[in-house]
Amino acid sequence: MLIIMGLEAPREDIEKVKTKIELCGCIPHEIPGSSKLAIGITGPTNKLNEDDFQLMPSVHEVVRVTKKFKLVSRQMKSEDTVIDFGNAKIGSKELAIIAGPCSVESREQMFLIADQLKNMGINFLRAGAYKPRSSPYSFQGMKEEGLKILDEVKNKFDIKIVTEVLNPGTLPLVAEVADIIQVGARNMQNFNLIEEVGKTGKPVLLKRGMSATVEDLLLSAEYILAQDNYNVILCERGIRTFETSTRNTLDLNAVPVIKSYTHLPVIVDPSHGIGIGDKIAPMALASVACGADGLMIEVHPNPAEAMSDGFQSLNPKQFEKLLGKLSQLAPIVDKEFELCRTVK
Amino acid sequence: MLIIMGLEAPREDIEKVKTKIELCGCIPHEIPGSSKLAIGITGPTNKLNEDDFQLMPSVHEVVRVTKKFKLVSRQMKSEDTVIDFGNAKIGSKELAIIAGPCSVESREQMFLIADQLKNMGINFLRAGAYKPRSSPYSFQGMKEEGLKILDEVKNKFDIKIVTEVLNPGTLPLVAEVADIIQVGARNMQNFNLIEEVGKTGKPVLLKRGMSATVEDLLLSAEYILAQDNYNVILCERGIRTFETSTRNTLDLNAVPVIKSYTHLPVIVDPSHGIGIGDKIAPMALASVACGADGLMIEVHPNPAEAMSDGFQSLNPKQFEKLLGKLSQLAPIVDKEFELCRTVK
Amino acid sequence: MLIIMGLEAPREDIEKVKTKIELCGCIPHEIPGSSKLAIGITGPTNKLNEDDFQLMPSVHEVVRVTKKFKLVSRQMKSEDTVIDFGNAKIGSKELAIIAGPCSVESREQMFLIADQLKNMGINFLRAGAYKPRSSPYSFQGMKEEGLKILDEVKNKFDIKIVTEVLNPGTLPLVAEVADIIQVGARNMQNFNLIEEVGKTGKPVLLKRGMSATVEDLLLSAEYILAQDNYNVILCERGIRTFETSTRNTLDLNAVPVIKSYTHLPVIVDPSHGIGIGDKIAPMALASVACGADGLMIEVHPNPAEAMSDGFQSLNPKQFEKLLGKLSQLAPIVDKEFELCRTVK
Amino acid sequence: MLIIMGLEAPREDIEKVKTKIELCGCIPHEIPGSSKLAIGITGPTNKLNEDDFQLMPSVHEVVRVTKKFKLVSRQMKSEDTVIDFGNAKIGSKELAIIAGPCSVESREQMFLIADQLKNMGINFLRAGAYKPRSSPYSFQGMKEEGLKILDEVKNKFDIKIVTEVLNPGTLPLVAEVADIIQVGARNMQNFNLIEEVGKTGKPVLLKRGMSATVEDLLLSAEYILAQDNYNVILCERGIRTFETSTRNTLDLNAVPVIKSYTHLPVIVDPSHGIGIGDKIAPMALASVACGADGLMIEVHPNPAEAMSDGFQSLNPKQFEKLLGKLSQLAPIVDKEFELCRTVK
């Protein structure tokens, strides 16, 4: 259930509505909007009586929310959520590009790629310090040492850091460095972790699980919003199907479908989505063409020598070429993407 | 195996090579190319000795084909196959757009939509006279009567007809009217039907089966090429996965993957691929963005009254708007698409 | 809709009901039952008025059928359908075992295996004369010659022949030899073929398509029953999923689910379902344990030399051992299976 | 790599081998066997030289392990792993039955069901104190209070407790009460959690993820064995496919496949696997028929009133009937299952 009030509603009226909700054992959530104030309600809403609210001062409307997901739904908030990072935004008309290597491998590697990306006008750097790997014998990341490198890079290049958290134990360390905390596909339904991540208040990048439906993804996001953290970015990265010629099946259908269900930004990771280096650029273009708010792309100074996922990384030159195409494509789908002057 | 000869090779030398192939119980296929002549070989090629051919006059090279599919592979023919229909092409730089209703419903409906589409510069009209339906109690198409209407439309509007064949019995009737014979997803592995369709020599539009891998699709195309019919258009139209928020999961990854394996043109049907009317346009744009040679789109004069699949049809106005976007997108991905003058 | 009449209803009353149905443009189907006579109705049943029938002589009840599939549903006919072949039945308490090689390979092979199977008490012999193959270059079966061999075997060993039909063109030839006409997974939605097969009046073994839901399978069976051919056997043979360690994913859940929806017999093909020779026996036992009415199993005199699917065939000795286990298992799940005396 | 030594090998020789392994930066794992002692090796085994070990005293053989999973493989340990709980075993000939409600709901409920199950001879009680739920607004379990109830039940009825852990934070609490720590499907690739669980040394029940391949499952188990905890039970509980008539697709093929790859016990959860109350019994029988070492079944005193998953729970009477069938089935597949005297 959702209580719509005017933006001009006095604080007193708002508090009265919230108190009434709490008296019934439910939780009120103030949802920021540009033309009206909405109070979302979660909990045992069957105990609430619509009519009781309709007559309260400053209340314009009472709306039933019919989807299983509440706070993430367009019914709760019709306008797009925009997450503002100062020098860049995610969810606005501005196309958001997150780029970088799969893993932090060394200080040199990170300084090199951060410099290259920053010069191309990229404001979000991705790189994993902790790596989830199917086999216990694979490289698991540089861990705390990797985080330290990311912190240095962040300060030196004024670039936002996107990095993955694997468990609540290391969350405080990750949250200190990350501008956006990434939750990987395998942890999308690790509900305790996502709740804890939500509580940090930091923007969260939530990747869709390999066998998660669109509804599952939105319900997981709901766990984060229920912590009153509205800064969630959803990421399509491919699902598991019978097809074996590609690493995953990138479900681009999900982009317009998710955008119609939720106000949250949606980005696409074509690197994992197809898993074949020379086919990432076309899938990146397709992602933007069908309405993605941004992209997350693996870029490595030297893909052939990457410690993980090199086969699906672009080198800086290939990436720069893709940026050129994106800048041409963006306006066609009502997005903006300005190439940095340094890109020829 | 593949024998590469010079374009200037005398007929005599070519025939010698072909005879040698036949003597070993194999079948030679002359494959048209712009810079060289290739002789593809199918059958028990293990009986052939590479060295025997290498020394024959006019033979430049002997190539082992390592994929299960032979004639469709880029190894056999590196250049893109272009199918020329006089006033339009499929497989060239020119973006090919096939549009029209799911089913032929009446003479009035078809004349109306053909007129609208032709005015928008569309050269390929799709409409099913025979409809494969999961339930025996659903509308199965106007059948022979539908074909007659298509024939009238074809002559009156000078538009190419794309229509589906369901079984060998009605193939002669369909082949008489169709400029492109469509084989639907459910018949992709109806090998007898596709062989018979191949033998007509007419261009074939082969849709990917709901659970067919990319390799399966290429092997089915191979059945047609093995009849010496090289005019095959492959069509991605969505696969079956666990996701239930869309009708199918459009596998756009398949587009660049198939293009790298084969010289045949690849188009996409976003109408079946997502199955939600207001999300077809974004998926159409995405299809072209990742490299499709064309699109097949359901357009109905009045989707709300369609006898089948109305929920996934565009009306002419929505379609025209999409064409505008496509004309902007095409040059970015090295394609051409000129809007007709009559489109404002 | 379904009209229930007493078994003692005079023909005159029955005909009146049928005529009334036909006058509304619908088709009546007399459905044999042991305690009552049901008249199933297909077509535009919305034109029928329930009340009109309720008052007609000998009519006991009028039932709405709510599933998309009608004639196959338990609502239409609650008792199990039993198909009687004289010396054996399918759908009764008696476990039905269909065994034999993937393909007819030679007269010697077929005589040898038929003799071995008959000695084990097997009454149904499977073997393909026409083989659907993903690649046009694979062995496609002995075709007409194979049918002739099957005909000889049938007469000599008094064993029922189960063999696959691939297209309407060769259906008359197949129907002449086959006691049960098999429609393969790839043709499950080749609606024209299954209608034609239905019209022969012969028992039909309908295999589930690789990406067909249980509902799709039942709707395809409905096509056959709508031809007034009620002798349909459904066969689960594995579906396509992301798992690659087995050829297919045998969906045994489907067995009790299908049995609850329909009166038709359900058998399982564990050979295709798992595709690993030494794991067929456990899956055969599992199939019967969850309620299958029978099994279809690939048995070859010498699997290592089979021309197709040898890796998933049992040799006669392995098969005999399985039969021993089945005879122990059957009574636990309320089935009967007597071992032949000759089996030690 | 695997070093095979005689059981009579002096400790001195064993330590020499282990030291040599450690000197190369690898980790030795002593693997208990009945006829020989195996030293498994993980880490950068490419630095090891086979020949160096072949000549060491008491070394019989050096074996290359070719699968990605090492310690879990049959190559490392050919005999079945049996986990001994005193009054019951898992992995032996004795069929292991784990039963109980989805969630701990109250002290009364748990005492009632524990009494009923114990009277039927059941030695393993399942019930979740912490429940992972797709929606943040669903019942999440009684948590610590639930654990306390389980502890009481355990002491009063001398029954082993199987209960799920959701995160490292509550692991110590769970480990104190649980005899077997369950890791749910959604956490199968929560590598940090499974490592921590492994370190407790307690037996672990690892459920297969909804989109995990058999290889993924074995690699996750490898994480636990790499902590030198060999007491892992694998559990098939259904995968996600396109089929919608059942909650999941129970992949029984996986049972014989996993058993051939690993020495670890494999059980099946048909309750989640099909998710339809009246079809759990047939799937339970099928699971045992194809070789499962045991079953995990939801049994609730009153399914209609269960707080979660009631639709897929058996009531005690239905469960007792199933036990009767299982006792008849077990000997056919070389298992033992004795019905308790109290079961009529």
Contacts D244 to B, Cβ<8 Å: 244
Strands lying side by side in the sheet with A27-31:
A27-31, A36-42, A2-6, A59-63
Clarify whether residues D93 and D123 are in a common domain: yes
Contact state of D70 with A190 under an 8 Å Cβ cutoff: no
pLDDT band at B344 (very low <50, low <70, confident <90, very high): very low
| Confidence (pLDDT) at C194 | 96
| Choice among A2-11, B294-303, D246-255 with the minimum mean pLDDT | A2-11
Cβ of C214 under 8 Å from any chain D Cβ?
A: yes
Residue carrying the six token digits 């191949």: B198
Cβ of C245 under 8 Å from any chain A Cβ?
A: no
Cβ of A68 under 8 Å from any chain B Cβ?
A: no
Average pLDDT over residues D290-316: 93
Q: How many folded domains does chain A comprise?
A: 2
| Residue D68 counted as domain residue | no
Clarify whether residues A48 and A146 are in a common domain: no
- How many whole angstroms separate alpha carbon A87 and alpha carbon A65? 35
Cβ of A287 under 8 Å from any chain B Cβ?
A: yes
H or E element: which one contains C36? Answer: strand C36-42
Clarify whether residues D157 and D42 are in a common domain: no
Contact state of D241 with B242 under an 8 Å Cβ cutoff: yes
For residue C109, the distance in angstroms to the closest alpha carbon of chain D comes to: 30
| Confidence (pLDDT) at A216 | 97
> Above 90 in pLDDT, residue A298?
yes
Clarify whether residues C218 and C181 are in a common domain: yes
- CA nearest neighbour of B59 among B133, B4, B130, B120: B4
| Residue B143 counted as domain residue | yes
D165 Cβ partners below 8 Å, 6+ apart?
Answer: D130, D171, D174, D175, D178, D181, D182, D183, D193, D197
Residue of B nearest to D240 (CA): B242
What tokens does C120 get?
A: 């084990």
pLDDT band at B124 (very low <50, low <70, confident <90, very high): very high
Contact state of C244 with A240 under an 8 Å Cβ cutoff: no
Strand D2-6 to D36-42 pairing: antiparallel
- CA nearest neighbour of D149 among D131, D164, D129, D123: D129
Average pLDDT over residues D39-58: 85
| Residue A222 counted as domain residue | yes
Contacts D209 to B, Cβ<8 Å: none
Average pLDDT over residues C106-129: 96
pLDDT band at C41 (very low <50, low <70, confident <90, very high): confident
pLDDT tens for residues C67-93?
788 899 998 888 999 999 998 999 999
> Above 70 in pLDDT, residue D125?
yes
> Above 90 in pLDDT, residue B245?
yes
| Residue D73 counted as domain residue | no
**pLDDT higher at B63 or C80:** C80
| Residue D105 counted as domain residue | yes
Clarify whether residues A43 and A140 are in a common domain: no
| Choice among B233-247, B270-284, D27-41, D238-252 with the minimum mean pLDDT | D27-41
pLDDT band at D45 (very low <50, low <70, confident <90, very high): confident
- Out of C211, C252, C328, whose CB is closest to D332? C328
Contacts D325 to C, Cβ<8 Å: 332-333
- Out of B241, B283, B332, whose CB is closest to A239? B241
Clarify whether residues B304 and B160 are in a common domain: yes
| Confidence (pLDDT) at B342 | 52
| Choice among B116-130, B170-184, D64-78 with the minimum mean pLDDT | D64-78
Contacts B187 to C, Cβ<8 Å: 190
Any idea what DSSP says for residue A141? -
Residue of D nearest to A166 (CA): D192
pLDDT tens for residues C43-68?
778 788 888 898 899 998 888 777 78
| Confidence (pLDDT) at C68 | 81
Clarify whether residues B40 and B152 are in a common domain: no
Contact state of A241 with C242 under an 8 Å Cβ cutoff: yes
**pLDDT higher at C261 or D36:** C261
Q: D265: exposed, middle or buried (C-beta count within 10 Å: 0-12, 13-18, 19+)?
A: buried
pLDDT tens for residues D131-186?
998 888 888 899 999 999 999 999 999 999 999 999 999 999 999 999 999 999 99
pLDDT band at A76 (very low <50, low <70, confident <90, very high): confident
- How many whole angstroms separate alpha carbon A236 and alpha carbon A217? 10
| Residue B342 counted as domain residue | no
Residue type, A17: V
Clarify whether residues D23 and D100 are in a common domain: no
Average pLDDT over residues B108-128: 97
Average pLDDT over residues B246-265: 98
Q: B107: exposed, middle or buried (C-beta count within 10 Å: 0-12, 13-18, 19+)?
A: middle
Contact state of A249 with B251 under an 8 Å Cβ cutoff: yes
| Confidence (pLDDT) at C260 | 97
> Above 70 in pLDDT, residue C32?
no
Average pLDDT over residues A67-96: 92
For residue B327, the distance in angstroms to the closest alpha carbon of chain A comes to: 10
Choosing from B63, B93, B114, the residue where a domain stops is B63
Write b or e for each residue in C112-148: b if 16 or more Cβ atoms lie within 10 A of its Cβ, otherwise e.
Answer: bbbbbbbebbbbbbbbbbbbbbbbbbeebbbbeebbb
Average pLDDT over residues A109-114: 97
Clarify whether residues C52 and C105 are in a common domain: no
| Confidence (pLDDT) at C343 | 46
Clarify whether residues B35 and B144 are in a common domain: no
| Confidence (pLDDT) at C344 | 43
Strands lying side by side in the sheet with D59-63:
D27-31, D36-42, D2-6, D59-63
For residue D303, the distance in angstroms to the closest alpha carbon of chain A comes to: 23
Residue of D nearest to B247 (CA): D242
For residue C241, the distance in angstroms to the closest alpha carbon of chain A comes to: 5
pLDDT band at A184 (very low <50, low <70, confident <90, very high): very high
> Above 60 in pLDDT, residue A133?
yes
Contacts B244 to C, Cβ<8 Å: none
pLDDT tens for residues A200-236?
999 999 999 999 999 999 999 999 999 999 999 999 9
What does pTM read for this prediction? 0.91
| Choice among A293-302, C136-145, C204-213 with the minimum mean pLDDT | C136-145
pLDDT band at C31 (very low <50, low <70, confident <90, very high): confident
Q: Across chain D, what does the average pLDDT equal?
A: 93
ipTM value: 0.91
Q: What range defines the domain where residue B152 resides?
A: 83-333
Residue of B nearest to D211 (CA): B242
Report whether D122 contacts D299 (CB < 8 A).
Answer: no
Residue carrying the six token digits 């051992």: C321
Residue of D nearest to B248 (CA): D242
DSSP C251-290: -TTHHHHHHHHBSS-EEE-HHHHH--GGGHHHHHHHHHHT
Cβ of D245 under 8 Å from any chain B Cβ?
A: no
CATH number at residue C198: 3.20.20.70
Contact state of B240 with D242 under an 8 Å Cβ cutoff: yes
pLDDT band at C142 (very low <50, low <70, confident <90, very high): very high
Cβ of C223 under 8 Å from any chain B Cβ?
A: yes
Contact state of B333 with A245 under an 8 Å Cβ cutoff: no
For residue B241, the distance in angstroms to the closest alpha carbon of chain D comes to: 5
A32 Cβ partners below 8 Å, 6+ apart?
Answer: A77, A230
Average pLDDT over residues D111-140: 93
* C-alpha torsion angle, residues D174, D316, D111, A43 (rounded to 10): 60
pLDDT tens for residues C207-247?
999 999 999 999 999 999 999 999 999 999 999 999 999 99
Cβ of D255 under 8 Å from any chain C Cβ?
A: yes
Any idea what DSSP says for residue A226? T
Q: Collapse the DSSP code of D171 into the 3-class scheme (helix H, G, I; strand E, B; otherwise coil) and give the result.
A: helix
Clarify whether residues D94 and D59 are in a common domain: no
Residue of B nearest to D245 (CA): B242
| Residue C78 counted as domain residue | no
pLDDT tens for residues D59-74?
988 887 777 888 999 9
Find chains touching chain D: ≥3 CB pairs under 8 Å.
A, B, C
- How many whole angstroms separate alpha carbon D145 and alpha carbon D156? 17
- Out of A215, A244, A250, whose CB is closest to B213? A244
Contacts A286 to B, Cβ<8 Å: 252, 286-287, 289-290
> Above 60 in pLDDT, residue A342?
no
Residue carrying the six token digits 């929606």: D135
Cβ of A169 under 8 Å from any chain D Cβ?
A: yes
Cβ of C134 under 8 Å from any chain B Cβ?
A: yes
| Confidence (pLDDT) at B314 | 96
Contacts C242 to A, Cβ<8 Å: 240-242
Contacts D285 to C, Cβ<8 Å: 289-290, 332-333
Residue carrying the six token digits 């690939």: C298
Clarify whether residues B149 and B254 are in a common domain: yes
∠ CA C7-C8-C9 to the nearest 5 degrees?
90
> Above 90 in pLDDT, residue A49?
no
For residue C223, the distance in angstroms to the closest alpha carbon of chain B comes to: 5
CATH number at residue C53: 3.30.70.1140
Give the Å distances, CA to CA, from C51 to C3, C48, C55: 11, 9, 7
> Above 70 in pLDDT, residue D287?
yes
B142: left (phi over 0), alpha (psi -120 to 50) or beta: alpha
Average pLDDT over residues A7-18: 91
Q: D138: exposed, middle or buried (C-beta count within 10 Å: 0-12, 13-18, 19+)?
A: middle
Residue type, B108: E
> Above 60 in pLDDT, residue C333?
yes
| Residue A29 counted as domain residue | yes
Contacts B211 to C, Cβ<8 Å: 209-211, 239-240
- Say how many CB pairs under 8 Å bridge C and D: 128
| Confidence (pLDDT) at A339 | 84
Cβ of B192 under 8 Å from any chain D Cβ?
A: no
Report whether D160 contacts A163 (CB < 8 A).
Answer: no
pLDDT tens for residues A51-74?
889 889 999 888 877 778 889 999
Percentage of the residues of chain C whose pLDDT score is greater than 90: 75
B146 Cβ partners below 8 Å, 6+ apart?
Answer: B103, B104, B127, B128, B129, B130
Cβ of C282 under 8 Å from any chain D Cβ?
A: yes
For residue B332, the distance in angstroms to the closest alpha carbon of chain C comes to: 35
Contacts B131 to C, Cβ<8 Å: none
Greatest alpha-carbon pair distance for chain B in Å reads 67
